[in-house]
Amino acid sequence: MKLKQLPETAIPGGHYRIEPYENWLLHDAVGAEPHDEPHPIYGFIVAQSGLGISVAELLELFGSHAEDGPMLGECTIDYHRPLVTGAEYSVRGAVTSAERKTGRTLGTFDVVTLQQHVSSDAGQPVVTTTSTFLLPRKETR
Amino acid sequence: MNDQLLPGWELQGVDERRMKMLALVLRDPNPIHYDAEAVRALGLGERPVNQGPANLAYILTMLRQAFPEHTLDRIHARFLGSVYAGDHVIAGGRVRTTSGTASGETVTCEVWLERRGHGRVVQGTATLRCPVLCAPDLR
């Protein structure tokens, strides 16, 4: 996949349900007191995990692999409606930009921005996330 | 309330076992979160690297405690550095602007996560809505 083709690439999209026990485990994993309402970081998790492809497959789409040391550079989460446990959410996403850069720390790397839209089963917007990934490249293409 | 510091939220010793649990919940295959050898091989240090969403979650937990009745509208974060297993981290924030309406206030906060001894590793902005008097400890 060429870098300039990434913004034209379709991502399948999928579904995600926040199970109450996963919400409990998530709270514990980030050191927070368990809470019935989903932890607000689920805005990111639902968008990522419900995208219809795994993180590994997403990185592969970007021409990267976990072993390359990919990093999350920036993230914006817009909350339109409260997230609830047990509800089924639909997720769709698209790459909005992709460019190559060079820096002192990472050397040559790609900056890929992904926007994801989370909707309720009634089609109402719930969360929008915009994530920027930094993908180190050992070689230029 | 402008420029008011929010009560900090601390985690003394980021737990490697919790990072492994989060890798499962996130289905994140990146070995730097669970395999110290992979971290060394990439030249990133000696200890597993905490997940970016976990670092952001600490800030969100801080906001939930500072504004118990709030509705979060937006958070934007830049990830400036890594947090490693065993690190002591402190999530903090400061109110920057407030604007009132009949139903409550919209509050914009500068937020951050500090890795103790190493400075800020996450820097961002959060916008939330509060019913009137939702955060009496800040007044």
Half-sphere exposure of A13 (CA within 13 A, CB side): 13
Q: Where are the domains of chain B?
A: 9-138
Report the pLDDT value the prediction gives residue A6, as an integer from 0 to 100: 84
- Tell me if A120 sits within 8 A of A81, measured CB to CB: yes
Chain B contact for A66, CB < 8 A? yes
Rounded to a whole number, what is the distance in Å from the CA of B18 to chain A's nearest CA? 5
CB nearest to B31's CB, from A66, A72, A73: A66
Long-range contact set of residues A27-31: C-beta below 8 Å, sequence gap at least 24: A28/B18, A28/B21, A29/B18, A29/B19, A29/B21, A29/B22, A29/B25, A29/B54, A30/B18, A30/B22, A30/B54, A30/B57, A30/B58, A30/B61, A31/B11, A31/B15, A31/B18, A31/B58, A31/B61
Q: What is the mean pLDDT of residues A116-123?
A: 96
Residue A74, pLDDT > 80, answer: yes
ipTM: 0.91
**If you measure CA to CA, which chain A residue comes closest to B123?**
A74
Rounded to a whole number, what is the distance in Å from the CA of B64 to chain A's nearest CA? 9
| B56-79 pLDDT, tens digit each | 999 999 999 999 888 999 999 999
Chain A contact for B61, CB < 8 A? yes
Angle, helices B52-66 vs A42-49, to 10°: value is 140
| Superfamily of A3-136 according to CATH | Hotdog Thioesterase (3.10.129.10)
Q: B60 to chain A: which residues are within 8 Å by CB?
A: 39-41
Residue A140, pLDDT > 60, answer: no
| A39-59 pLDDT, tens digit each | 999 999 999 999 999 888 888
Could you give the percent of chain A with pLDDT greater than 70? 97
Q: Where are the domains of chain A?
A: 3-136
Distance of alpha carbon A83 from alpha carbon A38, whole angstroms: 6
What CATH number does domain B9-138 carry, 3.40.50.150, 3.10.129.10, 3.40.50.300, 3.40.50.2000?
A: 3.10.129.10
Low-confidence residues in chain B, pLDDT < 50 = 136, 139
Contact B26 A82 (CB under 8 A): no
Q: A29 to chain B: which residues are within 8 Å by CB?
A: 18-19, 21-22, 25, 54
